C-alpha cells in the first residue's frame, strides 16, 4: 500500500498468546486417583509402565462384588411385572463370576449368602421403584481435570438426585464412610453438572448387613473433595514429568508399605510389598477377614 510504513510485528498472534497450546486436562476416574493416594508405586504399575506388569491371581471379593452389582443391574432392567423375588436366583446365576474362590464348597456357600443379601435388599424396595439411572457413566471437567466414573445407581428423592453405591465387603459402614468417600463426592459433582439438577446426598448400601450409610454434602464440602482430587492429579503429573526428565521411577513413584500390600495385585513384583504378609485370593470371604475398601470407577 502506497505510503504505508513498516509493519509492526510487536503484537503478533504468537506473542499475544493466541496460538498457545491449551492446558492438557488430567483424565481420571476416582479409582485412578485413589490408586496414587494409596500407593504411588501401585499407580505406576497400573497406569504408567508399558506393558503393564502381570497382575496376581483374581480376588474372590472382586468376583463377588461384580456378581452382585450385575445382578442388581439386571433386576432393574426387567419390566416391573417381572421383578419377582424368584427371578433373583436366575439373575445371580447368570452373572456369577467364579474366579478366586478356594474351592467349590466356598463358592456355593458364598452364592447362597449373596442370594440372601439380594432377596433382603429387593424386599426393602417399593415394587414400582424406578431409579433415574443404573450403572451410569458421568463426567465433568474442572480447570485441570477431565473426570469420569460409573455410578451404581442414581435416585430421585423429592426432586433431588441421590448417588447410591453398593458395597459387599464384610465390614459395616457408617456416616463417616459416606462423608469421607471422595469417589461419591466426585460422582455427585459430575452428576449435578450432567443432569443440571441438585445432587448432594450420597449413600453407601451395605448389602451384607442391609444398612445404609448416608451423608448430605454441601457445596463447600464437594468443592473440598474436588480440590483434593486436583492436588492428587498435580502430584501425579509431577511424578510422571520427573520420570520423563530422567528421574528414577522408583523414587518418583515410591511405595507406601502397609496392610494394603497383602491385597495388592502387584505385591509379587514390588520389593517392598513382597516383604509384607500376603493374602490368599479367597481370604476376604472367610469369616473375620476384610479386603481393602473398594473404590468404584
pLDDT at 251: 96
pLDDT of residue 137: 97
* Residues 233/20, Cβ–Cβ less than 8 Å: no
Domain annotation covers residue 115? no
Instruction: Specify the pLDDT at position 17.
Output: 54
Q: Domain total for the chain?
A: 1
The residue assigned the cell 454441601 is: 218
In a domain, residue 281? The reply is: no
Phi-psi category of 158—alpha, beta or left, where left has phi over 0 and alpha has psi -120 to 50?
Answer: left
Per-residue pLDDT of the chain (297 residues; tens, 9 = 90+): 444 555 555 555 555 555 555 678 999 999 999 999 999 999 999 999 999 999 989 999 999 999 999 999 999 999 999 999 999 999 999 999 999 999 999 999 999 999 999 999 999 998 789 999 999 999 999 999 999 999 999 999 999 999 999 999 978 899 999 999 999 999 999 999 999 999 999 999 999 999 999 999 999 999 999 999 999 999 999 999 999 999 999 999 999 999 999 999 999 999 998 898 999 999 999 854 566 655 555
**Does residue 118 sit within a domain?**
no
Among residues 89, 58, 60, 59, which one has the least CA distance to residue 75?
89
CATH at 169 = 3.90.320.10
The residue whose grid cell reads 492429579 is 233
Q: Which residues contact 53 (CB under 8 A, 6 or more apart)?
A: 45, 266, 269
State the Cα–Cα distance between residues 72 and 114, nearest whole angstrom: 11
Q: Is residue 249 part of a domain?
A: no
pLDDT at 1: 45
| Any domain includes 53 | no
- Is residue 204 situated within a structural domain? yes
- Report d(CA 160, CA 228) in Å as an integer: 25
DSSP run (H or E) holding 74: helix 60-77
pLDDT given for residue 126 in this prediction: 87
In a domain, residue 27? The reply is no
Domain that holds residue 197: 133-227
Q: What is the pLDDT of residue 132?
A: 96
Question: What pLDDT does 200 receive?
Answer: 98
Structural domain contains residue 193 = yes
pTM: 0.88
Amino acid at each position: 500500500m502506497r505510503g504505508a510504513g513498516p509493519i509492526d510485528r510487536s503484537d503478533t498472534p504468537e506473542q499475544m498468546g493466541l496460538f498457545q497450546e491449551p492446558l492438557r486436562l488430567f483424565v481420571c476416574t476416582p479409582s485412578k486417583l485413589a490408586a496414587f493416594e494409596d500407593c504411588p508405586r501401585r499407580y505406576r504399575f497400573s497406569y504408567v509402565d508399558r506393558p503393564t506388569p502381570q497382575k496376581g491371581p483374581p480376588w474372590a471379593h472382586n468376583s463377588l462384588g461384580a456378581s452382585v452389582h450385575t445382578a442388581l443391574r439386571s433386576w432393574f432392567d426387567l419390566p416391573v411385572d417381572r421383578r419377582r423375588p424368584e427371578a433373583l436366583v436366575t439373575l445371580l446365576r447368570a452373572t456369577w463370576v467364579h474366579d478366586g474362590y478356594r474351592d467349590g464348597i466356598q463358592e456355593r456357600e458364598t452364592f447362597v449368602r449373596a442370594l440372601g443379601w439380594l432377596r433382603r435388599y429387593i424386599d426393602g424396595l417399593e415394587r414400582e421403584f424406578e431409579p433415574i439411572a443404573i450403572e451410569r457413566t458421568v463426567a465433568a471437567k474442572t480447570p485441570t481435570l477431565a473426570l469420569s466414573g460409573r455410578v451404581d445407581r442414581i435416585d430421585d428423592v423429592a426432586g433431588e438426585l441421590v448417588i447410591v453405591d453398593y458395597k459387599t465387603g464384610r465390614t459395616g459402614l457408617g456416616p463417616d464412610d459416606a462423608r469421607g468417600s471422595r469417589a461419591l463426592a466426585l460422582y455427585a459433582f459430575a452428576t449435578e453438572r450432567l443432569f443440571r439438577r441438585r445432587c448432594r446426598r450420597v449413600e453407601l448400601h451395605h448389602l451384607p448387613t442391609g444398612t445404609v450409610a448416608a451423608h448430605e454434602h454441601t457445596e463447600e464440602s464437594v468443592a473440598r473433595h474436588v480440590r483434593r482430587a486436583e492436588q492428587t492429579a498435580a502430584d501425579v503429573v509431577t511424578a510422571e514429568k520427573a520420570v520423563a526428565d530422567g528421574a528414577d521411577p522408583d523414587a518418583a513413584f515410591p511405595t507406601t508399605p502397609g496392610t494394603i500390600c497383602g491385597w495388592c495385585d502387584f505385591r509379587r513384583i514390588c520389593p517392598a510389598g513382597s516383604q509384607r504378609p500376603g493374602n490368599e485370593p479367597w481370604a476376604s470371604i472367610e469369616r473375620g477377614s476384610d479386603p481393602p475398601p473398594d473404590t468404584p470407577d
